[in-house]
Chains A and B, each alone.
Chain A
Amino acid sequence: MVTFLLIHLIPGDLVTILLGITASQNEQTRQALIHALHLDRPLAVQYGLWLGDVLSGNLGHSLVTGLSVGDELARSYPVTLQLALMAMAIALAAGIPMGVLAATRAGRALDGATRVFSLLFISAPAFFIGTVVIIAGARYAPWLPTLGHVPFAEHPARSVTTMLPAATSLGLAISAIVARFTRTSMLEVLGQDYVRTARAKGVADRAVVFKHALRNALIPVVAMAGTQFVYLIGGAVIIEEVFALPGVGRLVVNAIYARDYTTIQGAVLVLTSATVLVNLALDLLYHVIDRRIVYA
């Protein structure tokens, strides 16, 4: 509903854009097109028609290219999904160990280095990191493919390696946030009584950190990673532009430029539902990490 209204708030005469200046002078063509697109119906009726279509799995056809929006999304969605998942995996794989290391050595050089690292990468826009990655790649590793995209279904291994630079650029910024968050969370848990008890009864340091502390410290980290997902999708929009990946982000940006309402509607709907689903999945994941959380 919100998606629908929001997009119709965007002004700009679609019919003129579709027909071009000369054709839009012809009143008859104009009216025919307006009718075909249901643009002559009240907004509420348009919404009803659209909702009916969405529920039956039909996202309509692009107003500009005439291609089915569902097909376009089916093509571009896996690209964005792969990018987001790879970026998140990199962020967690790099961020959590960094945070743990920093927390167990709080106040020492390594902690300081982690802090400098996270500050730098929180401050650097993903499109800048991406551009630097491309420059560095071209200069020092010219055999490495940095642009373009290989569909995962065609060649999984090549697909992952081709997307690695893009996913790293996106993941680094989030890994910095993950690292800081893990550090705070770990410090808090390491200060708890039960950790002290475990240490007192002679549990090995490694076991205290990984078994007792990390597991509890990870809950807020997972929660935070979920909130980062919204930004991950936002970042994917720009990173796809930088690395010329044919994902949903590029689809939306191009559709917004062209005022292609049906495509924008479909894509934003998909992106927003993805965000909601991820948040739901994370809620369920808490239970796996912490058995004390039970859903009534």
Chain B
Amino acid sequence: MRAPRALRSGSLLAGGLIVAGLLAVALAAPWLAPHAPTAIFSGAEIRPPDGRFLLGTDEVGRDVLSRVLYGARVSLGVAIPSVALAALVGTALGVGLGYLGGVPDMLAMRAFDVLFAFPPILLAIALVAALGPSAVNLVLTIAVLTLPQFAVLTRSATLALMPQEFVQAARALGASHGRLLRAHVLPNIAAPLTVQASLSLSIVILVEAALSFLGLGTQPPAPSWGGMLSRGRQYMTIAPWLVLAPGLGIMLAVLGFNLLGDAQRDLLDPRRRGARGRGA
């Protein structure tokens, strides 16, 4: 049986399809959703799935399917900007530190070490609780917590590049700092960056869901998956669809970005290329 090989080469396809589908749902939610996500159908509270409400209704009579579809928009609406911000600032910081080295580099690395000792979810809870749970604060908080991963990654990648001959040659030929970074360093660290971006997106989706679950993330009535799951828990024994629908939404989104990140990593790592049944 060659199942894993098919699975592995399929993981790029599967991850890509899931992510593309997710993006499509997020963008086209108003056309795909049968009802408005906040529309209340009084007299239709906690209906099991049927022909009119394909995934049933929640405790105040809102269509669960529509809310789950709009949930993709809420989830990605937080995840994409925060990872983009973290990648931008983190890369600038990491490349700068790796390029300059010395005391600032050492200090920053110590600071990251300290930061990594705290459970990230605790930091996130503390920050959001302090700043107040708004969409902007949520994005900022998650970006700040994701940033060190990008900084550490790009720093070590830059450090590894600096002594290489083509970089040294460019420098000897009189290339400016800006040109060295733009033309020689950045293009060479772009590949691991895209992998990190995919994996970070999957983590960030989980963090947003967890914060919303605790009531600190996206605020109601906006249909966030974490928030829906949290409120659905009160009715979970009589109306499991209230919990299962948003939960599967989170799982699918995280799975998509995970698969995509893994597949990218396999493609980029020459040791894993070809030997797909063996590496992980």
Query: A: which residues have CB within 8 A of B?
Result: 2, 6-7, 9-12, 106-109, 111-112, 115-116, 119-120, 122-125, 127-128, 131-132, 134-135, 138-139, 180-181, 183-184, 187, 230-231, 233-235, 237-238, 241-242, 252-253, 256-257, 264, 268, 271-272, 275-276
Contacts and interface: CB of A to CB of B under 8 A. Distances in A.
18 contacts: A108-B3, A108-B4, A111-B3, A111-B4, A123-B251, A123-B252, A125-B213, A131-B229, A134-B236, A135-B243, A187-B279, A230-B119, A237-B119, A237-B122, A252-B125, A253-B125, A253-B214, A268-B122
Given A107-B4, A123-B254, A125-B250, 12 more contacts: A6-B123, A112-B7, A123-B255, A125-B206, A125-B213, A134-B236, A187-B280, A237-B122, A238-B214, A252-B125, A268-B122, A271-B122
B100 to A, nearest CB: 24
B126 interface: yes
A120 B251 contact: yes
A237 B210 CA distance: 10
A119 B258 contact: yes
A35 B201 CA distance: 46
B233 interface: yes
Contacts of A138: 236-237
- Give 8 closest A-B pairs by Cβ, nearest first: A234-B119, A10-B130, A112-B3, A234-B121, A128-B247, A107-B277, A123-B255, A123-B254
B177 interface: no
A134 B244 CA distance: 12
A115 B122 contact: no
Nearest to B237: A138
Nearest to A180: B280
B240 A116 contact: no
A42 to B, nearest CB: 21
B114 to A, nearest CB: 5
Nearest to A268: B122
Interface of B: 1-5, 7, 114, 116-123, 125-126, 129-130, 202, 206, 209-210, 213-214, 226, 229, 233, 236-237, 240, 243-244, 247, 250-252, 254-255, 258-259, 277-280
